[in-house]
């Protein structure tokens, strides 16, 4: 795939955290463009519903259970992905948890560690395990957040900041293979996690996730906008 006349029709794309929110919106958008989807989540019932919606749009879907807090689950999921498709032209690492928020020194250490396992450590392990499947010139999107390294956001801020660092490393390390590694920040979108983090906020004041997927699709189609993109600014002059 390349930026000139690129298409996602038939492209094999892994989307983690695809059972709801931003991941589900990305999956639906990819399905509409003819991608072959490999979808993961910890909740099989929600994932099956999203997969059915994608199938209704004509997309082929393979479902993989994945718990990023469990090394064994990550390893098993990587094997399943390899059995489902011979290679991946695209990867969207969207899965994550909010975890405990507040001043870092006031947070429960064990709960903080568990959240970091999902938001960072498990993500790194998954990338290591699926790296042989990622095709040359593929697009790899790491879904990040404006909360990265932000005071008061606890484990989530640590995980997202670390994930952005991973993206910068892999962007250089995989550059000889033409792989585009881009961190995409959706910004505020109407998701369950957003509601958990901002319970007093009116959900109607933030856009639905589907309105912020354009940069993810562009990266997967061959565009390289740089190491980090703000979805809310995509397309603005």
What amino acid positions are annotated as catalytic residues? 156
Give the 3-state DSSP-derived string for the chain, with helices as H, strands as E and coil as C: CCCCCCCCCCCEEEECCCCCHHHHHHHHHHHHCCCEEEEEECCHHHHHHHHHHHHHCCCCEEEEECCCCCHHHHHHHHHHHHHHCCCEEEEEECCCCCCCCECHHHCCHHHHHHHHHHHHHHHHHHHHHHHHHEEEEEEEEEECCCCCCCCCEHHHHHHHHHHHHHHHHHHHHCHHHCCEEEEEECCCCCCHHHHHHCCCCCHHHCCCHHHHCHHHHHHHHCCCCCCEEEHHHCCCC
């Amino acid at each position: 795939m390349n930026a000139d006349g690129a298409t996602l029709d038939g492209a094999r794309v892994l989307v983690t955290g695809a059972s709801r929110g931003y991941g589900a919106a990305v999956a639906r958008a990819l399905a509409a463009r003819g991608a072959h989807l490999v979808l993961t989540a910890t909740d099989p019932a929600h994932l099956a519903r999203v997969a059915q919606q994608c199938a209704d749009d004509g997309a082929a879907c393979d479902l993989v259970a994945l718990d990023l807090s469990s090394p064994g689950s990550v390893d098993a999921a990587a094997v399943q992905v390899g059995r489902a498709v011979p290679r991946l032209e695209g990867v969207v690492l969207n899965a994550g948890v909010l975890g405990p928020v507040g001043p870092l020194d006031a947070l429960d250490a064990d709960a903080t560690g568990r959240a970091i396992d999902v938001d960072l450590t498990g993500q790194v392990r998954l990338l290591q395990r699926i790296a042989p499947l990622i095709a040359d010139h593929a697009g790899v999107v790491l879904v990040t957040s404006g909360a990265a390294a932000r005071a008061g956001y606890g484990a989530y801020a640590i995980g997202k900041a670390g994930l952005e660092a991973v993206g910068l490393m892999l962007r250089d390390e995989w550059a000889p293979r033409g792989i585009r590694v881009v961190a995409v920040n959706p910004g505020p979108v109407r998701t369950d996690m957003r509601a958990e983090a901002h319970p007093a906020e009116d959900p109607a004041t933030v856009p639905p996730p589907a309105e912020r997927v354009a940069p993810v699709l562009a990266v997967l189609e061959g565009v390289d906008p740089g190491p980090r993109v703000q979805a809310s600014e995509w397309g603005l002059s």
